[in-house]
Amino acid sequence: MNNLAKGFGRVHGLRLVWALVLLFAAAYAEASHFRFGHFTYQSRPDVSTSAADFTMTVAFRSSAFGHPQIGQTFRPGSYSYGDGRSDNLNYKVVARNLQEDWIVGRAIDSSGNEVIRHDYPGPSNNGNPWLAQFSSCCKIGAIRNAANAYWRVYTRVDLANGNSSPVSNLPPIVSCAKYDCRFLIPAVDPDRDKITWRMSTRSESAIPSIPAGMAVDRDKGVFTWTGANSFSNGLYSVQVTIEDRAEDDSVKSTTAIDFLIRLQDQGANTAPVFDHPPTPEAGTVITAVVGQPLSIVVQASDADSNDIVYLNHVGLPRNASFEQSISGGRLGLASLDWTPVESDIGEHIVTFLANDNRGGASSPVSITIEVIEPAISDVRVVSTISAIDIDIDTSSFSHLPASISVEGDRTLVTWEFPTFSVDQVENLSADLKLYSLVPGELRLVSEKLEVSYIDIDGNPVHQQLGEQLVSVAPTLSSVSVATDKSLYGPDEQINVSSAVTNLADIDIDALVSIIITDTQQNLAADLGTVNVTGLQADELRNLPELYFSAASVYAGSYLALARILDEQGKVLRQAATAFSITTQNGDLSDISALVNTDKPVYQAWDQAMINLRVLNNTSNANFDGGDGVLSIYRPSGELLQSQTYSVNSLAPASNDDRQYLLRLEDREEGSYRAVWQVSQGGGLLAESETVFAIERAALSALAGTVDVEHYDTGEPKNCQFATTNRSVSADVNANLIYQVISLDSGEVLYQLREESVVLPSGQPRPYSLMLADPPAYGDYGCILSAEIDEELRQLAAAGFQFIPPKLEIQLHAASRGRLLILLDADDYAAPHDDISPVSQREYLEALLTENGWSYTIATTADNFENEFNSGGYSAAAIFSEGVTLHPQVEALLVEAQNSAMGVLIAGAWNRRNSQMESAFAVALTGQNNGVQSVDLLSGVLDEPISVSEPVTDGLALAHCSAQIWAVFSGGKNASHECAYPEASAAVSVANYGLGHHVYFAYDVLNMATQNRALHEQLLLAALAKIQPENWPIAAGRITPLELHIENLSRRAAIDVRLSLPAGGSIVDTSAVQQLDDGSWLWQQDLSAPTEISKIFYIQLPEEPTDSVPLLVDINAGINRSLMVKDSDFSLELGPVKDILPFVEADELLQLLQEQYPKDKSYSFADKKIRAAESGIAKGKIDNAIKSLLLAADELAEKDNDPATSLRLIVDQLLYQLQRQSSSISLSNED
């Protein structure tokens, strides 16, 4: 530095430092079958304006595809792009969950790429988005709001502006607490558009019923289910639509995420929960940098003592790993590790989930990982330095600037950097020379510091820091202080001398204060203040000596401080000198040490507790702390272990205690020595020593482990024992005892002894014990013990539980009833059939059995009439060509259709069903021999095997007010006003009254037997269509109920007991037995996780009643000796009105005749109904039926509510009379 001066002041040097730290490091984390669907796309204008890259993610039941492993493939179905094209792709397993039996797959192309390229005919579909979708049947039967329903997951694709859809992620099954169902549905948009959420509509999702209270926040994506506690536990199907929006809030694209919610109570099993930290909170955005490793720690725990926590994930980025490092207990710990590459730049959603071995599941935790570029560029730093009385030493720059320029009274120093990497630091500094300084002055040095650069997204960034000031020393004097010696006894006096010096060129005054403090700057004494005046330039003046008594403070180290003060008492400058005051023994401290053990003698492999103490024996001195060292020596004198401690400060007459645990693993016999030394600053202050002995016994050398292995479904499988001789010096001979005990009663259920087992050093001896069924459910344990010379010691134990099987059960109205079929006799020769009646019948029986139908086949008109009159069927299918039904039977079928019974008619044309065809508005105008194929119309079947199949013969069909399912290609159309205008109708569907009927204008059974394909699909769809939507409730009616059971355990014995009131019964009692008390029993034994369904056909009582309760009790167990109550249901099937409701009919007739006095039809109907009542009284049932049919014919032409209701009463009367005329008693059917 120079000695140049301006004015009265001297030149002062200053080094100005700019610490340029541009950090943009990532924020790292420390430490049935369809379940799910989500389909997204990314536009590829770089390839083509109509090109899109699809990412297709689905989840299905793992066991449905043979439990594929990660990386293996499965094929769940076709994806339709909405332009007439579709792909049936393989899906690679990217995640799996054995506890919930699902796999997540991502579609791959033929090269194994997980992005599926599709070229559309154009960017949009004539100005509208392309509607791509993944749809099929069926969802699992256990879903409460969509049992066996179709699924549809759609994506609206619009490539007009190069837009890409939002992306989301969830586990296939989200577990939700019944009283607090709330979770985040995460989403990101590759274009950073605004995202909104909404519940999908029923037409979009194909979910039949969306439970009340389900909602999703439009702007945040938080799903809530208000009132979920009023719904039953179980699975519910949910679909949420996610949309990205333009600046005017218009929708740019749409994608759906379809998943399941498992609604559950807390119950006896507490679900695992994620621990925050280390697990990131849901919704956290974590930044990752290309090329830099990222690690995210995930931890979940379970409050139940015997539960095992399993961690899983969905949406793991490509090339990332997820490993669970702690497992097999109540704590699960895993780590996601990933080093992203350039192609990973963008946002990635990862969802974590936790399950336990008893079916409990946590709420999902979804986070977003944003991958960014690794550097910024075009960095420019400009420092503006004042040029007033300031010079820059240009030779002192730590980093040479790009330029230095002067603008008026400012100097601009500029540094430039082409790029700046993550964590790069540049220190920019230089020396400044300041002139004309004033004491206490704040001198402006740098007016501002500006930094500009291009960030990782290519955006320009400009930052500016404020001015920098330096503080000039406030005084022109200095001070010094000293004591007469450095060490004093407790009764001595300290002599303090001081002096002040003028550093300026002029005379000054000074105010000097003398104080005593300890080393922590706590005031010990104030010795006073001296006012120094007229101190000449460069003068040093000694101040009066001051005195301080050592008796007034504790022993220890102190400082004497001389301070120059301003008028307000502020310290401007000070000097200090150190001295110490000793204890009575002449030392600064008096410390002692003590060491002892909890026992004098130990066995090898015991644990020795060593107690350590430090005591401050002085009465006038604090101990400022030090170091303690515990050293433990073998019998040979060799050092065994050493441990160092920091000893805390101690007040006078106080102590510091601690303990050290010494593990005596395989220690040799003999006397051991423990030495405890306390030191300070490297000097030994105190030492203590103790001895203890170690003895060796063979039994203590043994250690054991017990692990309980579980089946995939969670039940205990076997106990794995292992016994190890820990001694390195000798073999051990012992008896080993393996036990299984009840932890509830203490009873030993099983015990095995291995006598005189020789256990070599370090070699575990395994033993596996397969667990059999217990005598009762509860807590059990496997215990490993060892015995030597009649001394017994338990080595290890592990607990497990036997619990009843876990079942998901649903009871609801069945979607199908019993089916009555009319076929030709085996010896009938159909003129146009290629397949014999025998083959057709065999095919039909196999088809119906395979698809779970209960049916009866009749081959004669009398047999059909007798079965039909029994009243036990929900639908009739007429396939015969050679059997002609009596006109009265046809009329009765029409009335049965009016009151909900379904009808299917198919076969060649012979005018045998004229009455039904007339009633159903079906007109056949002749043969249609020129037909070539049956062509399916769009939208009729969700996944048709084909859309066209050959056919040989057909009929010219017109069906008024019908929906057409399929048409003929070739041939002629019907010559009738109701003919389908587009083509000749082949299959038609219509309603009549409360029922549905389907008409096939060709012999569908003959064609399906030859070539199943589309004909078989249409036949099955028709049989399902004609089933009643609402089952009629009346005396003797059949109500089908379906019981669906999903076994989630390894095996289950199930007893289903149904109790009906008097007069109620079950018909079609296959596999069902009636017990002595009148109840009905259905039993099943399941040996694997599976789903089963059973339809019970309940016949209502014959007598009127206000209530028909059905009680269903379900017991289950792992075997039939351990049956416990699983669940029960109570359903109300009634009320049942009068079997012959003539009174109600009379009331409606009176009303109709009053409202329509000129209409003779009602008086005619009245007459016929009264005639029927008279005929019944006289036992003339057939006459009564004919009278009622005439009344029904009159009422069929009327279009008013009372007439419609009256006709249904007439139909009910006909139903009861038909049953009386039938020789079949349903209650006696097998």
Geometric angle at alpha carbon 157, from 154 and 161, rounded to 5°: 160
Average pLDDT over residues 280-308: 88
Q: Is residue 74 part of a domain?
A: yes
d(CA 1012, CA 1009): 6
Cα–Cα distance for residue pair 471/455, rounded to 1 Å = 36
Inform me whether the pLDDT recorded for 24 exceeds 60.
no
Find the mean pLDDT for residues 574-600. 88
Residue 689 lies in a domain: no
CB under 8 Å to 354, separation ≥6 — which residues? 272, 273, 274, 300, 309, 310, 311, 312, 332, 361, 362
**Domain at 453, CATH number:** 2.60.40.740
Q: Is residue 462 part of a domain?
A: yes
pLDDT of 30 higher than 70 = no
pLDDT per position as a tens digit, 449-495: 989 988 776 789 888 888 888 777 678 789 999 999 999 988 899 99
State which of 340, 372, 404 marks the end of a domain.
Answer: 372
Predicted pLDDT at 267: 65
From residue 541, give the alpha-carbon distance in Å to each of 477, 535, 1128: 11, 8, 104
CB atoms within 10 A of CB 274: 23
Are residues 968 and 950 located together in one domain of the fold? yes
Going by the DSSP 8-state scheme, the letter that residue 507 receives in this structure is -
Are 231 and 297 found together in one domain?
A: yes
C-beta of residue 1073 within 8 angstroms of C-beta of residue 1080: yes
Q: What is the pLDDT of residue 99?
A: 79
3-state secondary structure of 894: helix
Most confident of 672-681, 911-920, 922-931: 672-681
Whole-angstrom Cα distance, residue 806 to residue 1047? 6
Kindly report the CATH number assigned to the domain that includes residue 1096: 2.60.40.3670
**Count of structural domains within the chain:** 8
The domain spanning residue 767 has which CATH number?
Answer: 2.60.40.2360
Look-up of token digits 């005017």: 248
Q: Is the pLDDT of residue 20 over 70?
A: no
Q: Report in angstroms the alpha-carbon separations of 600 from 74, 638, 642, 670, 1102.
A: 68, 20, 20, 12, 91
Q: Which residue is it, tokens 């079609």?
A: 1068
Same domain, 464 and 569: no
Chain-centre distance of CA 1105, in angstroms? Answer: 49
Q: Are residues 537 and 418 in the same domain?
A: no
For residue 994, give the 3-state DSSP assignment.
Answer: coil
* Domain assignment present for 265: yes
Q: Determine the Cα–Cα distance for residues 114 and 91; give it in Å rounded to an integer.
A: 9
Pairing of strands 855-858, 819-822: parallel
Classify residue 692: in a domain, yes or no: no
Indicate whether 308 and 455 sit together in one domain: no
Q: Which burial class, exposed, middle or buried, applies to 1071 when counting CB atoms under 10 A from its CB (0-12, 13-18, 19+)?
A: exposed
Is pLDDT above 50 for 23?
no
Q: Where is pLDDT greater, at 870 or 387?
A: 870
pLDDT digits (tens, 9 = 90+) for 1063-1080: 889 987 788 999 999 999
Residue 665 pLDDT level (bands cut at 50, 70, 90): confident
DSSP states along 35-88 = EEEEEEEEE-TTT-TTEEEEEEEEEEEGGGGT-PPTT-EE---EEE-SSS-EEE
309 with 279: CB under 8 angstroms? no
What pLDDT does 10 receive?
A: 37
Task: Retrieve residue 401's tokens.
Answer: 């600037």
Q: Which two tokens stand for residue 1095?
A: 């339809």
Tell me the backbone φ, ψ of residue 1228, rounded to 5 degrees.
Answer: -100, 0
Q: Do the beta carbons of residue 883 and residue 861 sit within 8 Å?
A: yes
Q: Which two tokens stand for residue 255?
A: 């994608």
Residue 593 has a pLDDT of 94
Same domain, 74 and 147: yes
Distance CA 898, CA 1204 (A): 10
Do 482 and 467 share a domain, yes or no?
no
Residue 286's CB: how many other CB atoms inside 10 A? 19
Please check whether residues 116 and 180 belong to one and the same domain: yes
Q: Left, alpha or beta for 378 (phi > 0: left; psi -120 to 50: alpha)?
A: left
Q: Which of 581, 614, 649 is where one domain is finished?
A: 581
Q: How many helices (H) and strands (E) does the chain have?
A: 11, 79
Q: Are residues 929 and 872 in the same domain?
A: yes
Which residue in the block uniquely carries the two structure tokens 């059917």?
A: 1229
* 132 within some domain: yes
pLDDT-based confidence at residue 19 (cuts at 50, 70, 90): very low
Tokens linked to 183: 């979770």
- Nearest partner of 241 among 198, 183, 206, 210, judged by Cα: 198
For 297-344, the pLDDT digits (tens) are: 999 998 887 778 888 887 788 888 888 776 667 888 889 999 999 888
Indicate whether 316 and 281 sit together in one domain: yes
Question: Which of 751, 822, 816, 811 is CA-nearest to residue 787?
Answer: 751
Examine the pLDDT at 782 and tell me if it is beyond 60.
yes
3-state SS string over 589-624?
Answer: CCEEEEEEECCCEEECCCEEEEEEEEEECCCCECEC
Residues 6+ apart with CB under 8 A from 791: 699
* Structure tokens given for 1047: 């076994």
855 in Cβ contact with 932 (< 8 Å): no
Nearest to residue 966, comparing CAs of 247, 242, 951? 951
Distances (CA, A) of 273 to 175, 265, 365, 369, 980: 11, 15, 10, 22, 61
Distance CA 440, CA 471 (A): 7
3-state SS assignment for residue 148:
coil
Q: 546, 581, 616: which is the final residue of a domain?
A: 581
1137 inside domain? no
**CATH number for the domain harbouring residue 1178:** 1.20.58
pLDDT at 282: 86
Question: What is the C-alpha to C-alpha distance for residues 427 and 393, in angstroms, rounded to an integer?
Answer: 17
Q: Is 437 helix (H, G, I), strand (E, B) or coil?
A: coil
d(CA 922, CA 1192): 19
Q: Residue 4 has what pLDDT?
A: 28
Count CB-CB contacts under 10 A for residue 246: 12
What was the pLDDT predicted at 79?
A: 93
Residue matched to tokens 């001081």: 498
Q: Looking at the structure, do residues 1002 and 1120 belong to the same domain, yes or no? A: no
Q: How confident is the model at residue 27 (pLDDT cuts 50, 70, 90)?
A: very low
Cα 1017 to Cα 180, 1010, 1012, 1024, 1041: the distances in Å are 44, 13, 8, 11, 25
337 and 452 in a single domain? The answer is no
Residue 1125, CB-side half-sphere exposure with 13 Å CA sphere: 5
Is residue 63 one of the residues assigned to a domain? yes
Domain of 776 in residue numbering reads as 698-803
pLDDT in tens, 213-245: 999 999 999 999 999 988 988 999 999 999 999
| Long-range CB pairs of 393-401, under 8 A, 24+ apart, other chains included | 393/430, 393/431, 393/432, 393/433, 394/430, 396/15, 396/429, 396/430, 396/431, 397/428, 397/429, 397/430, 398/427, 398/428, 398/429, 398/430, 399/426, 399/427, 399/428, 401/428
Segment (H or E) for 648: none
Q: What is the CATH number of the domain that holds 481?
A: 2.60.40.10
- In angstroms, the CA 176 to CA 29 distance is 26
Residue 1003 vs residue 443, higher pLDDT: 1003
The CATH code of the domain that includes 862 is: 3.40.50.880
Q: How many CB atoms lie within 10 A of CB 569?
A: 10
% of residues, the chain, pLDDT over 90 = 57
> Given this model, what pLDDT does residue 420 score?
78
What Cα–Cα distance (Å) separates residue 360 from each residue in 243, 1045, 1154?
Answer: 33, 19, 66
Owner of token pair 């028909």? 1108
- DSSP code at position 1101: P
DSSP β-ladder status, 955-959 and 922-927: antiparallel
